[in-house]
């Protein structure tokens, strides 16, 4: 089940880290992983819950980042879709890692 407070915190964290990633190389690509990790770690649950919470946090945070950052280079809808897909994949990875760490 999705716990929205950790997911919203993960989304905000993804956006903040992604914007800082403009100036720090490779930090932008880690933003959805970190946001998904934090969302899943805070929400707890099993692997499925971690993947869902992390995926939601990474997808929406990545979509907003893609819209803002990639929109200047692509169509705004293309940046939104690309950010959503990449954020979803990386958020699921971060969410799974968050559950693994919390389980130990």
Structural domain boundaries of the chain? 4-103
> Residue 104: its pLDDT value, please?
66
Band the pLDDT of 40: cuts 50, 70, 90: very high
Contacts of 69 (CB under 8 A, 6+ apart): 18, 22, 28, 79, 83
- Across 1-5, 7-11, 33-37, least confident range: 1-5
> Residue 3: its pLDDT value, please?
79
Q: What is the pLDDT of residues 45-104, one digit of tens each?
A: 888 889 999 999 999 998 888 888 776 666 667 778 888 899 999 999 999 999 999 886
Contacts of 40 (CB under 8 A, 6+ apart): 6, 10, 49, 50, 51, 53, 54, 94, 95, 96, 97, 98, 99, 102
Contact 65, 14 (CB under 8 A): yes
**Reported pTM:** 0.87
Burial of residue 52, with CB atoms counted within 10 A of its CB: 0-12 exposed, 13-18 middle, 19 or more buried: buried
Contact 92, 39 (CB under 8 A): no
What are 4's two structure tokens?
Answer: 């929205």
């Amino acid at each position: 089940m999705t716990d929205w407070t950790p997911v919203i915190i993960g989304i905000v964290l993804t956006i903040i880290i992604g914007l800082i990633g403009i100036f720090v190389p490779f930090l932008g690509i880690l933003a959805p992983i970190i946001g998904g990790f934090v969302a899943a770690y805070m929400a707890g649950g099993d692997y499925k819950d971690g993947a869902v919470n992390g995926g939601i946090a990474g997808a929406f945070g990545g979509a907003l980042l893609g819209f803002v950052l990639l929109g200047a280079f692509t169509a705004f809808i293309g940046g939104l879709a690309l950010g959503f897909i990449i954020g979803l994949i990386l958020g699921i990875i971060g969410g799974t890692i968050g559950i693994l760490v919390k389980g130990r």
